[in-house]
Amino acid sequence: MSAATYRAVQALGGGKLEVVERPLPKPGSGQVLVTIEACGICHTDALTVEGGFPGLEYPRVPGHEVVGRIAVVGGQVSARWKVGQRVGVGFLSGRCGECESCRRGDFVNCASQPLTGIHFDGGYAEAMIADQHGLVAIPEEFSAVDAAPLLCAGVTTFNALRKSPARQGELVAIQGIGGLGHLGIQFARHMGYRTVAIARGAGKKAMALELGAHHYIDSAAQDPAKALQALGGASVIVATASSPASMGPLLEGLKSQGRLVIVGAGAEPLQVPVTSLLFGERSISGSNTGSPVEAEDMLNFSLLRDIRARIETLPLERAAEGYAKMMSNEARFRMVLTIGAK
């Protein structure tokens, strides 16, 4: 990056990514310019790279697991944000401040929520403009590479558990040991839950136990719901897999008044047996990442408990390669672009 230009990897739609050099932008009112140290590659980036998000305009720079430092502060920015400060930017990157959700303090569900890498350029770049309301303070104890994937996968699984009805000592299951699930297992264990990992194949057991699971259920060898009931029934099941077809049958593994929390996204509809909801008064909910201050809570908890994502790194110019590896489920478990990482 020069004083006048910066490199970025922009999406053109249809899966195409290209490296370009752009004029360095200046922050407007309420904005900062961030020089980027690292950016995670997330499955949600497919909305930008492949297309499909309504009204998306190209070219657009993907990336919403961004860590860097403030280089320039625009006008009307709070004094808490200073030049040189380490910050992050997640998927939910601001708020309108006017809709009913915002007026009630529910910023995650802002009706006009700006999304990083979709409504404006994201972190597959050496620099980006960010709204002050979307900034996350990053502890200096974290490396940029370690902090980046926690800003999406981390806060998503952290909030799904923290906001659930499960209490310490109760049985909690994490379905899937991937980019989300491998963090969910760590959070569940360190939050004090009796943790069960559910995945397909006996080969994932060792990894699940290493991450902190107390029990492992091979969904290819046994019915996960029956296996959970044999352990006493789960208070909460966090479904991180991208296959809704695998989620509905898990309901029977919940104890009475248990909850299935969905954080994994898939295209097909979720199918559930209504009787499993009625008898046992079970429920289903979704959990959508988190606000910047919730991300800060998650980072502080991760520091206290030494929770980290398992990461593979690539330089910015190999972003297309990293994206392809993520999309083919070959990443173990999060891909991170090292841009100015320290």
Q: How far apart are CA 178 and CA 184, in angstroms?
A: 9
Q: Is 13 exposed, middle or buried (0-12, 13-18, 19+ CB in 10 A)?
A: middle
Weakly modelled stretches of the chain, pLDDT under 50: none
Query: Do residues 315 and 273 share a domain?
Result: no
Q: What is the pLDDT at residue 52?
A: 84
Q: Cβ distance 158 to 193 under 8 Å?
A: no
Q: What is the pLDDT at residue 227?
A: 98
> In angstroms, how far is CA 33 from the centroid of its own chain?
23
Partners of residue 131 on adjacent β-strands: 31
Q: Cβ distance 121 to 131 under 8 Å?
A: no
Query: Do residues 20 and 142 share a domain?
Result: yes
Classify residue 23: in a domain, yes or no. Answer: yes
Classify residue 334: in a domain, yes or no. Answer: yes
Query: Do residues 25 and 171 share a domain?
Result: no
Q: What is the pLDDT at residue 340?
A: 81
Classify residue 231: in a domain, yes or no. Answer: yes
Q: What share of the chain is helix, strand, coil (3-state, %, to 5)?
A: 30, 30, 40
CATH of the domain at 267: 3.40.50.720
Query: Do residues 222 and 259 share a domain?
Result: yes
Q: How far apart are CA 310 and CA 257, in angstroms?
A: 34
Classify residue 158: in a domain, yes or no. Answer: no
> Where do we find the tokens 């009931």?
229
Query: Do residues 68 and 128 share a domain?
Result: yes
Query: Do residues 263 and 317 share a domain?
Result: no
CATH of the domain at 67: 3.90.180.10
How many domains would you assign to the chain?
A: 2
CA separation, residue 235 to residues 70, 157, 243, 266, 299 (Å): 42, 16, 21, 24, 25
Q: What is the pLDDT at residue 341?
A: 62
Query: Do residues 62 and 200 share a domain?
Result: no
Residue type, 199: A
Query: Do residues 29 and 137 share a domain?
Result: yes
Residue at a domain's end among 286, 309, 327: 286
Residue at a domain's end among 244, 270, 286: 286
Residue at a domain's end among 286, 308, 329: 286
Q: What is the pLDDT at residue 5?
A: 97
- The candidate with the shortest Cα–Cα distance to 68, out of 331, 316, 321, 300, is 316
Domain span including residue 267: 164-286
Partners of residue 35 on adjacent β-strands: 69, 127
Query: Do residues 206 and 102 share a domain?
Result: no
Number of alpha carbons in the 13 Å side-chain half-sphere of residue 128: 36
Classify residue 45: in a domain, yes or no. Answer: yes
Number of alpha carbons in the 13 Å side-chain half-sphere of residue 303: 12
Classify residue 330: in a domain, yes or no. Answer: yes
Query: Do residues 18 and 85 share a domain?
Result: yes
Q: What is the pLDDT at residue 342?
A: 54
Query: Do residues 253 and 301 share a domain?
Result: no
Query: Do residues 195 and 310 share a domain?
Result: no
Classify residue 268: in a domain, yes or no. Answer: yes
The pTM (predicted TM-score) of the whole model is: 0.96
Across 157-194, b (16+ Cβ under 10 Å) vs e yields bbbbbbebebeeebbbbbbbbbbbbbbbbbbbbbbebb
Q: Cβ distance 299 to 172 under 8 Å?
A: no
Classify residue 159: in a domain, yes or no. Answer: no
Q: What is the pLDDT at residue 136?
A: 98
